[in-house]
Structure formats: structure tokens, C-alpha cells
Amino acid sequence: TKNLVLTALALFVAATVSATKVPALNVIPMKNKKALVAFESDKPVQVELTLKSRKGEVLYSKQTDTPVTAMQTIFSFYNLQDGVYDVSLDLNSCKINREIQISNNHLKKVGAEERSFDPYCSFGNNLLKVSYLNPKQRNVQMYIYCDGQYLAGKKLGREMCIQKAFDFSNLENGHYKIVLSNPGEQYSFVFDK
């Protein structure tokens, strides 16, 4: 009976996962030095699509006014120099990125989807709780500011799943800003104590 229960549980999990469509960002080469960039999800979400150079320069940006389940845009590469660019999609607390390589104004390579998720922070009963999924296992730092003044910094580590709680009972009342940072990403959370 134990095997039957485990088998039933595995089938339930598989059915649940297949019933939920994971949001996807596709970059499909076209003729005439263009590419189709398409997003789809089974739940309506507000999204922002950007194309950035490696220097961080925003070359294209489009944001939806209302939640959508799909978006399609055609990128033209006529004016782009050879190099590597990032096509990114921000939705809710998730970011999907695909690295693309342009050569002679043509799309030569599309990298795999990389997903990152915003950290979860909450403050209550003098406790700051931080949860962060760190799939690339980058070195995560936390910086604490009170009323605009830097107070302290702390290394949170490189673990895949970071979950920490910090006691603020000995700190003064004020307006706090917490900044979580790793190479390439930065998030902030504010609260009053």
C-alpha cells in the first residue's frame, strides 16, 4: 500500500505540473535581419520586455498596461553592432532572460532561458525575515540603511536557498531600507520600525 500511495502522489504531482504552463520567452530568427520575440503564460500578468546591450544600455522597452497571457514583438537587428545582448522579460516577481548573439545584423545564437526570482522580505515583531532563491549560487550581500544612513552590511552566502531572520529589537526606530545585492542583480525592501 505504501508503493500505491507514492505512485498516486507522483501521478498527482505530474498532473498538476503539466496542467500549469510555465511562462516562456521565445526568440525565433526570421528573414530580413529580424527575430520574433514571443511570451506566453496561462495566467494574465503585467510584463515588461527589454533588449539591453552588455553595457546595460536599454535599446528597446515595452510594458503592458494591463495583464496579458501573450505578447509578440518583432526585433530588427539592422542597426545593432556585432555582440551579445540580453532579451529580458519582467513579470510579477520573476525575470526571464535570454542571451542572444548578433553577427552581421543577423541573429546567430539564442541562449537558454535563465530565470531569477525576487527575494521575499517581511518585517514584524522586530524580526526581518529574508528568503531568496539563488539558483546561480552567486554571493549575496545585504546592506542596511536607516533614514538614508548606512548602518551595516552582511554576507548572506552562496547557498541555493537563503533563509535568514534578523533581530532588529536593539535598533532605533526609523525608516529602514534593506538592499540585497549579487553580481548583476539588486533588490530593495523598505519598512518603518
State yes or no: pLDDT of 17 exceeds 80.
no
Residue 2 has pLDDT above 60, yes or no: no
Closest CA to 89 of 50, 147, 141: 50
For the chain, the C-alpha Rg in angstroms (whole number) is: 21
* Contact (Cβ atoms closer than 8 angstroms) between residue 100 and residue 57: no
pLDDT tens digits, one per residue of 85-113: 999 998 877 889 999 999 999 999 999 99
How high is the pLDDT of residue 91? 86
Place of cell 520574433: 36
pTM of the predicted structure, to 2 decimals? 0.67
